[in-house]
Structure 1
């Protein structure tokens, strides 16, 4: 049987579980920065906020979300996806309704926290953890397929939202988001009617990590590999979120129409889609250790291009490179923790890593907004971010080499 036939067989046999991962990753977009930032202009105007004020609110709410994720993420080790996802998505829908109805700044802070926690935090974590647990030998491939939901949302939602704002009140659009989420809950429930057994009731499906052990979160947090890799991988959401969050400001300083800038984002999304499958195949073929130090480098080049871009065409090239790196971010973090620490407690370990990433995505926009108000140009900031990606890539190499030696040998 050739590889194409094997791939089709893989899709056919695992379609419901792959669809769950893709659907959850799509629905996480309602708490992702690329969508919330599309409404930054309206939110700042409605509440009378400067770039720094809006960035500070976003940072504070997201930081609290990161702190809660450390504890809440472990719920994925205790409850079935079918049950937990319905509760989380219900809360996410209520958060969208609150965004549509709220008129107070204090309420805005709470709403941003809820969107970030239930959307970016819990929904995406449930997707990644469930796929990482359900698939072992084909984990990279499965993660790549599930990420298609996120890719589709990133391509469609910001552009359609900006277009819809010219025809509908922005608050009505958020009410529509809530309705869509609620409609997807019965579909998710149906797909999981034959849900695979979770870790809480099946101990034999666990894959071991370093030294043939099933690492707990406490053990992982005491191990140097975690504190080498997690902060570096948090650079991606930190600076990517900063770019998407300040997209309106970026268009303004370049003298471009916001809609024209958003129109090139799907180029990055299509690249993201292809890159995700490429990284998914490469993880299964070469292993995560060889790929992890490389995937941030396209982002470094992309930010240099954005900083000096004289036209949208140049920035489009930067967006394409961001999509190339995005495929690595979509597949590698989900694979690395399972590989080195095993899958028995992957939900708890992953939640700690996600908390750092969420924290990074909180610090980035707030810090950048403060720097903008202080007179540090956004283009100058992009060059600093570019250098940080290169440094982070170099730092990961010795830590990965030392940890890989301790992995159990394949029989």
Structure 2
């Protein structure tokens, strides 16, 4: 494979964006929008209750989340290429394991593996990779990468439903395991380079005459981009406000997505409508993510977090009255707008606020919070429905969290290292 150097019309960072987007796409088997298609299959085949499956899913996700901070450190230590190949291989094996589930304990192990390797690692690694290759164009690059996420969210519910109905749920898991090995791994192995400096390039692909002399040095970075260590970042109030902000959408979205088929069924809407809403959310999110990518290069990122939480409040209220197809379509469209903002803002805010040198460790903590938030999302919905035979009480209580998120996002201003003076 031939790479183009400085002066070429093609910047290899865009190839990196493509591979990162492919990685985000193949995080699908570990995401809740994919797993939701299997839940009723487990309940019907093994006789487990919805509370049992929800509890196992939450516990497995919680355990996976606690490990994600170490994955971030491994990225900083071993680099994105090594981690992407290793995680991709293990993730394929995890899919094959899930095709053999026959007990609640095997289900717990299977959920743990796909949440750690898929939802967590296969989302974290591409995000840290793109952050290394772009600074000025970071928002746009992230929006292109995120197309992989929306295509994944649009395709997986429909594909899984078709694979399960045509063959069975075991075949569906094996299908994605093979796809990871045959499609994703070759790109990760042969195409990924950890950072532009490894190829004699600089972030964003543009360099002036003076910077050419220091092409392999740290002077190529934007002077406005301060590189924070994890220890330094944790000493700022902003870091902890962001941690809270990032966990809330994960909890709300995972709770809704995990039970979306059951929620719609309780409101006399078909499984096909639920699958369509999941796909519509992804389709609407695509242009919204492109717009968000453009705007995040120009506006403070925490403004987008505020918008996300306000829209989530509307979504929760709307879901309580989604009793016909038209309202369901409206719900899916608004959900897509929220996700378009969320999938860019929650990824880009870490390198924008804390630089790119230690982005693996810092973003690893953020991803831990995302996974932990998603761990607690399904459980109250499952127990609430078993207790009240309705999702309305849980939806009402859940409104509290995005309301708090608005406050935290407003306070999460970009920090400066001058804040650290006197803190040691």
Separation in 1, partners of 2:246, 2:218:
29
- 221 and 48 in structure 1: CA distance in 2 versus 1, 3 angstrom threshold: farther
Q: Deviations along 1:86-122, whole A, 9 cap, x unmatched? A: 1101110001000111212111111100000000111
Q: Decide which moves more: 379-388 or 87-96.
A: 379-388
Residue of structure 2 aligned with 1:374, choices 384, 387, 391: 387
Given that residues 208 and 214 in structure 1 are in contact (C-alpha distance below 8 angstroms), is that contact kept between their aligned partners in structure 2? no
1:183 counterpart residue number = 182
2:212 counterpart residue number = none
| Mapped pair 1:313 → 2:326 | yes
Separation in 2, partners of 1:277, 1:53:
39
Task: Give the superposition deviation at 1:195.
Answer: 6.2
Separation in 2, partners of 1:395, 1:133:
27
- 99 and 204 in structure 1: CA distance in 2 versus 1, 3 angstrom threshold: farther
Separation in 2, partners of 1:107, 1:359:
21
Given that residues 261 and 312 in structure 1 are in contact (C-alpha distance below 8 angstroms), is that contact kept between their aligned partners in structure 2? no
SS at match of 1:285: coil
Q: Deviations along 1:177-205, whole A, 9 cap, x unmatched? A: 10000012113323226963479x97555
2:79 counterpart residue number = 80
SS at match of 1:256: coil
1:350 counterpart residue number = 363
Separation in 2, partners of 1:228, 1:78:
27
Task: Give the superposition deviation at 1:251.
Answer: 2.2
Given that residues 120 and 371 in structure 2 are in contact (C-alpha distance below 8 angstroms), is that contact kept between their aligned partners in structure 1? yes
Separation in 2, partners of 1:174, 1:133:
33
Task: Give the superposition deviation at 1:290.
Answer: 3.1
Task: Give the superposition deviation at 1:82.
Answer: 2.1
| Mapped pair 1:400 → 2:399 | no
Separation in 2, partners of 1:47, 1:10:
57
Separation in 2, partners of 1:27, 1:197:
27
Separation in 1, partners of 2:35, 2:14:
30
| Mapped pair 1:282 → 2:295 | yes
Separation in 1, partners of 2:158, 2:309:
26
Separation in 2, partners of 1:96, 1:10:
40
1:303 counterpart residue number = 316
2:236 counterpart residue number = 223
Task: Give the superposition deviation at 1:244.
Answer: 0.8
1:100 counterpart residue number = 99
Given that residues 144 and 290 in structure 2 are in contact (C-alpha distance below 8 angstroms), is that contact kept between their aligned partners in structure 1? yes
Residue of structure 2 aligned with 1:326, choices 339, 342, 348: 339
- 347 and 50 in structure 1: CA distance in 2 versus 1, 3 angstrom threshold: same
1:38 counterpart residue number = 37
**Please, which runs of 5 or more residues in structure 1 have no aligned partner?**
1-8
SS at match of 2:357: coil
Using structure 1 for the length normalisation, give the TM-score.
Answer: 0.90
| Mapped pair 1:240 → 2:253 | yes
Instruction: Trace 1:59-78 onto structure 2 (pairs within 5 A).
Output: 59-78=58-77
- 202 and 150 in structure 1: CA distance in 2 versus 1, 3 angstrom threshold: farther
Given that residues 147 and 286 in structure 2 are in contact (C-alpha distance below 8 angstroms), is that contact kept between their aligned partners in structure 1? yes
Given that residues 241 and 365 in structure 1 are in contact (C-alpha distance below 8 angstroms), is that contact kept between their aligned partners in structure 2? yes
SS at match of 1:183: helix
Q: Deviations along 1:27-53, whole A, 9 cap, x unmatched? A: 111100110111110112233221111
1:56 counterpart residue number = 55
